[in-house]
Structure 1
Amino acid sequence: MSNRIQTEDIVFRHPFSLRGWAELQPAGTYVLETEEELVEGLSFPAWRRVSTTITHRPGRAQAVVQMLPVDPQDLARARAADAGRP
Structure 2
Amino acid sequence: MADRTTESIVTFQRAFSLSAIEGSLPAGRYRVVVDEDEISGLSFVAFRRTATLFYVPAMSAAAVTRQMIVIDPADLDRALTADLAPG
| TM band (smaller chain) | 0.7 to 0.9
Aligned-pair distance for 1:20? 3.4
Q: Conserved in 2, the CA contact under 8 Å of 1:35 and 1:50? A: yes
SS across alignment from 2:84? helix
Q: Any idea what SS the aligned residue of 2:34 has?
A: strand
Q: Which residue of 2 aligns with 1:69?
A: 70
Shift of 1:31: 0.9
Instruction: Report if the CA contact (8 A) 2:34-2:52 is conserved.
Output: yes
- Give percent identity, aligned residues only: 34
Q: Structure 1 regions of 5+ residues with no counterpart?
A: none
Higher deviation after alignment, 66-75 or 18-27: 18-27
- C-alpha displacement at 1:23, in angstroms? 2.2
Aligned residues: 85
Q: Secondary structure at the match of 2:52?
A: strand
Q: CA deviation at 1:41?
A: 1.4
Task: Indicate the residue corresponding to 1:57 in structure 2.
Answer: 59
| Rounded Cα–Cα distance in structure 1 between residues aligned with 2:44 and 2:30 | 33
Residues 1:6 and 2:2 aligned together: no
**Deviation (angstroms), 1:57:** 2.8
Change (3 A) 1:85 1:66: farther
Task: Write the distance in 1 (CA, Å) between the matches of 2:20 and 2:10.
Answer: 20
* Structure 2 residues without counterparts, runs of 5 or longer: none
SS in 1 for 2:32: strand
Q: CA RMSD in A?
A: 1.5
Where in structure 1 do 4 or more consecutive aligned residues deviate above 3 Å? none
